[in-house]
Amino acid sequence: MPELVRHEVAAEGYRLRVASEWSGGAVVACQWVDPESGRFLRESEWREASPRAEHEVELPAAPGHYRFYITAREGERWGYEKGGAMLVVDAEVGEQGVAVERSVVRTLGALRRERWPGLARDILVGPWEMCWRNRHLMASMVRRDIVSRYRGSFADAFWALLNPLLLMLTYYFVFGVFLRTRFPGDPTAGGYVLFFLAGMLPWLAMNESLARGPNTALEHRNLIKKMIFPVEVLPLNLTLAGWVTGLTASAIFFGFLLWLRGGIPVTALWLPVLWVPQLLLTAGLCYVLAAGGVYVRDLVYVMGLLLTMWFFLTPICYPDQNLPAGLLPVLGKNPLYVLVRAYRAILLENRQPDWGAVGKLWVLSLGIFYTGFAIFRRARRGFADVL
């Protein structure tokens, strides 16, 4: 395999000149790659190194960072693809022209390892920095999303209250009145209403966000394609809009609680402890669905079926005891099931939730959130091309 002996890099205006000397005969090319992802962009003409090869690159006047691989051909593949070293040139274009940031000899594996600390920070800290930096934009987009849904209708924004109320009443009449489903401990119709509504609270918020997740990038394709836009906020906007629906449903539930039981238990103050993992779980899944929906357009239809299955596999409209005993160890790991049980514990049973299950839910939700964010960050680079 040809080895790089020495190299020279010079910049003049917006032009970059790279001279490289190789041991033995070699075919050498200068490849443009994305400095963030390492994705191949384009390639210059090949040069025969005997033993010296020279490449001249004209860079655009627009400010930006650029990376080039000066690499030798080895058979049918490039040397760095076989673990060989190459010359890596990083350059930045500014108002005065191009400036060489560094020129080093590296293997592809070494370059990837250099990115690990930055990637870890981007994944762990990046979401929170992005939220804080774009907090006003997110608040504006969530408000506009909620208002625009009902603009022009007879009831206007009042539908934000009517929608969850009518949905709750529909399920109540199907399961509580016609099928006469009852929960143990309170076999009355009023008791069924409360147990059912308490289980619906986390579901309403999550269902609305996840059902719209695959379409979120498609709905905002003009923003993604035509301007610099923090596309990472889109799944979070869905999550927050769904949470607003959940808050509206909670207000309705508290009204029923005051009417049927005459008060709200003090354990309801634990609600924020459940909201955090619920929001993290929803946001992480929305990130995955938003990324997948760009490349797999059928995902939005599949999600309708999956969400229906998830609803009926979770004891929301029926008691836990109705779950098959053999499947309970598996279905009991359902994060929505953990949320439903915790909501009923603090809102109806006047006790704290199962902290062991809630702690595991926090860990799982954080893991799904960071994983979803990482998948979305990686997939977004191709959004403009696909959309």
Q: pLDDT value at position 316? A: 85
- For residue 344, the SS3 value is helix
Quote the mean pLDDT of the chain: 85
Count the neighbouring beta carbons within 10 Å of the beta carbon of residue 299: 19
With bands split at pLDDT 50, 70 and 90, how would you rate the model's confidence at 367?
A: very high
- Residue whose C-alpha is closest to residue 249's, from 191, 194, 205, 312: 205
> pLDDT of 132-152, one tens digit each?
999 999 999 998 888 777 665
Q: Could you identify the residue written with the tokens 């992005």?
A: 130
With bands split at pLDDT 50, 70 and 90, how would you rate the model's confidence at 344?
A: very high
Residue 243 has pLDDT above 90, yes or no: yes
Q: What share of the chain has pLDDT > 90, as a percent? A: 36
What is the pTM for the complete model shown?
A: 0.77
- Chain centroid, CA 234 distance in Å: 9
Please state whether beta strands 86-94 and 47-49 pair in parallel, antiparallel, or not at all (unpaired): unpaired
User: CATH 2.60.40.1930 occupies which residues in the chain?
Assistant: 4-114
d(CA 367, CA 373): 10
On whether the CB atoms of residues 246 and 204 are closer than 8 A, the answer is yes
Q: pLDDT value at position 157? A: 55
Residue 371 has pLDDT above 70, yes or no: yes
Residue 360 has pLDDT above 90, yes or no: yes
Q: pLDDT value at position 151? A: 63
> pLDDT of 30-67, one tens digit each?
998 888 777 788 888 888 887 888 899 898 888 888 99
d(CA 364, CA 280): 9
Q: Give strand pairing partners of 74.
A: 77
With bands split at pLDDT 50, 70 and 90, how would you rate the model's confidence at 78?
A: confident
**Taking residues 209-214, what's their average pLDDT?**
92
Q: pLDDT value at position 154? A: 53
Higher pLDDT, 245 or 288: 288
Q: pLDDT value at position 140? A: 92
Rank 136-150, 174-188, 225-239, 276-290 by mean pLDDT and report only the highest: 276-290
Q: pLDDT value at position 381? A: 76
Q: pLDDT value at position 285? A: 96
d(CA 66, CA 373): 25
Q: Could you identify the residue written with the tokens 């917006």?
A: 14
Q: C-alpha angle with apex 206: 200 to 208, nearest 5 degrees?
A: 95
Residue 78 backbone phi and psi in degrees, to 5: -80, 150
Residue 364 has pLDDT above 80, yes or no: yes
Higher pLDDT, 148 or 10: 10
Tokens of 147: 């208002």
Higher pLDDT, 321 or 267: 267
- Residue whose C-alpha is closest to residue 267's, from 360, 355, 161, 148: 355
Residue 383 has pLDDT above 90, yes or no: no
* Least confident piece of the model among 101-105, 187-191, 235-239, 261-265: 187-191
**Taking residues 329-338, what's their average pLDDT?**
87
Q: Is CATH 3.40.50.1370 the right assignment for the domain spanning 4-114?
A: no
With bands split at pLDDT 50, 70 and 90, how would you rate the model's confidence at 96?
A: confident
Q: pLDDT value at position 185? A: 65
- For residue 52, the SS3 value is strand
- Residue whose C-alpha is closest to residue 359's, from 371, 367, 370, 351: 367
Helix and strand numbers, DSSP H then E, in the chain: 14, 10
With bands split at pLDDT 50, 70 and 90, how would you rate the model's confidence at 156?
A: low
> pLDDT of 157-200, one tens digit each?
566 667 777 777 776 676 666 666 666 666 666 677 788 888 88
